[in-house]
Amino acid sequence: MSFATYSIFPGTTQEANSFNTISDVLTVLPDNTQKLINPRDVRDAIFSNWENTVIRYTSNTLGTQYIGIAREDIKDKLFFGKKSLSGSNILSNSVLSAQSDIDIFFYNTKLDSAPTQNLKIGFIAGSSQSLHTSVPYLEVVEVSGGTPSLGLNLTHNQSSGGDFNFLAGNYGRIGLNGLVVPSYTEINSMVLSPSASIVGDLFVVRSSSGNLEFRTGGTVTSTLGSPGSTTNIYGSPVNVNGFSLEFTDSTPTPQTLGGINAGTTFSNVPLVEMIRQLLYPYLGPLVTLSLVNSVIERNHILVPPAGTNVPFNYTLTKRTANITSTNIQIRNSAGVILTSYSGPVLTGSGFITQNYTDSFTFSGAQISANLNGSFTFSITTTDGTQSVSATSSLNFVYPYFYGFSATTSNTQNIINGLTKLVDLQDDQTVSLSGTGYLYYAYPANYLTLAKIYDGNGFLLWQSGTTSTSWTYSTNTISSPSGIWGGTSYLVFRTTNVVTIPPPSQAYQFNFTP
């Protein structure tokens, strides 16, 4: 007979012993034919049965009850399921010894004749019984093959079943076949796409929808980006086949090349920007300006109602950048601005040239007040980087008069019958043919002629010498058409009547020696 392991309530009427095995209990509890069973034997049997029930109600040291293993001395393995299959124990000695490190075994409770002996352990939750018929479950299956094995599945038999979530806290990682899935914190800090990888590396990418994808460098480098959308690659530096996509060199360039000026240095300049500077140097805008007639007879008196209208043309050329503003100004000889206003802008792709026509009307007062008759037209245009200007001069002048007259009296009448020439002060060559006194008159402020040559190149007059063929006088005359008043003129004429036969001769009247 074995001895009891321990007792309870010793020394009292409730004292009882606990035995280790059912044989020990049966030995001390004989048949009661002789009425030899006493209450102590019954207590021992009940207490032994309670103590040897492994899974039952128990409590912790604070007295809180729970269902669990209630024996501290239980060190053996636990097994849940049917004991044998087709007459053989599920847990044979070889299994127990080979898997001695396993503490708890589960096996199915299917009939031995079931097609498979897979183990399924379902998990029920929720408040609807309709959900309990399609619960997720753990399944252990036999995998057939050259070497049969057991596989473990986490299964949901609904096509639209719930998610399987594996959570390891904010900082814990999850391993799958040795592949470590980053922690929740690490995943949140990932960029949407990898910036670089080595072909063959397997890494985790978080997609824009928040899903994780396993990729290799090959899946990234074969196709990068999507048509019609921007693809950004970041790095310092960003290399292609070991060469940086940005150029750095502190050595100044020895000469100008394209749009890169001599003496330029580079610090992380994108190669595409360098090519753009080489092929497309900055070119500022261009502007031209021309007057339809830059020399006009002075008109002080009989001006049209709107004055003397002077048309002008100008051209704008947009090159590298758009022309953002244009300014048109007209000044007198003293630099006083008579008008200033904005002109057109010019935008578009590539070089663009546009021609424009404009005009300005001068009043008689503006013309008469400007003694030398000079005015300046200017156009300034800018593209925001460079401004360029073009100017053109306008001169209101008193005209030249030349030709033949039969008389030498009444100079004004003689001038009225001569040919008018509107031009700046300069040496003049005029074609002459006729008979009479030959006249040549011009504003007195031009000073005295230096020389006069006939059509054969013979010198007829030279300043500072005595001439018997030409004479001159100073006279006050007015415009034959009445557009300007009395003005001092030098009037040259021949001393005798001369004849120049047709077709004509080219006489020269020179102010230069």
CA–CA separation, 303 vs 480, rounded Å?
14
What confidence score (pLDDT) does residue 310 get?
Answer: 96
Alpha helices in 397-472 (DSSP H): 411-416
Pairing, β 374-382 against β 212-216: unpaired
CA–CA separation, 207 vs 184, rounded Å?
15
Taking residue 287's Cβ as centre, other Cβ atoms within 10 Å add up to 22
What confidence score (pLDDT) does residue 215 get?
Answer: 64
Beta carbons within 8 Å of 264's beta carbon, 6+ residues apart: 252, 253
Q: Over the stretch 340-382, which tens digit does the pLDDT of each residue have?
A: 999 999 999 989 999 999 999 999 999 999 999 999 999 999 9
Domain ranges of the chain: 6-69, 243-278, 286-396, 398-510
Q: What is the pTM (predicted TM-score) of this model?
A: 0.53
CA–CA separation, 28 vs 2, rounded Å?
10
What confidence score (pLDDT) does residue 491 get?
Answer: 97
Burial class (CB in 10 A: 0-12, 13-18, 19+), 434: middle
What confidence score (pLDDT) does residue 195 get?
Answer: 52
Q: Looking at this protein, which amino acid is placed at residue 196?
A: A
Supply φ then ψ for residue 416, to 5 degrees: -60, -25
CATH class of 286-396: mainly beta
Instruction: Calculate the CA 159 to chain-centre distance.
Output: 46
- Residue linked to tokens 């503490």: 103
Sequential DSSP letters for 144-192: PSSS-EEEEEEE--STT--------TTT--EEETTEEEPPHHHHHTS-S
Three-class HEC string of 228-247? CCCCCCCCCCCEECCEECEE
Beta carbons within 8 Å of 2's beta carbon, 6+ residues apart: 19, 20, 21, 23, 24
Along the 513 residues of the chain, how does pLDDT read in single tens digits?
444 456 778 888 878 777 777 677 777 776 767 666 677 677 777 777 777 777 888 888 898 988 888 877 777 788 889 989 998 998 888 778 776 788 888 999 999 999 888 999 988 888 888 788 788 989 999 888 888 898 998 888 777 778 888 889 999 998 888 778 888 887 777 644 555 555 555 566 777 766 777 665 544 456 777 888 888 888 778 888 888 888 888 999 888 888 788 888 988 888 888 888 888 788 999 999 999 999 999 999 866 667 899 999 999 999 999 999 999 999 999 999 999 999 999 999 989 999 999 999 999 999 999 999 999 999 999 999 999 999 999 999 999 999 999 999 999 999 999 999 999 999 999 999 999 999 999 999 998 999 999 999 999 999 999 889 999 999 999 999 999 999 999 999 999 999 999 999 999 999 998
Q: Over the stretch 152-198, which tens digit does the pLDDT of each residue have?
A: 988 887 777 788 888 899 999 988 887 788 888 877 776 445 555 55
What confidence score (pLDDT) does residue 9 get?
Answer: 80
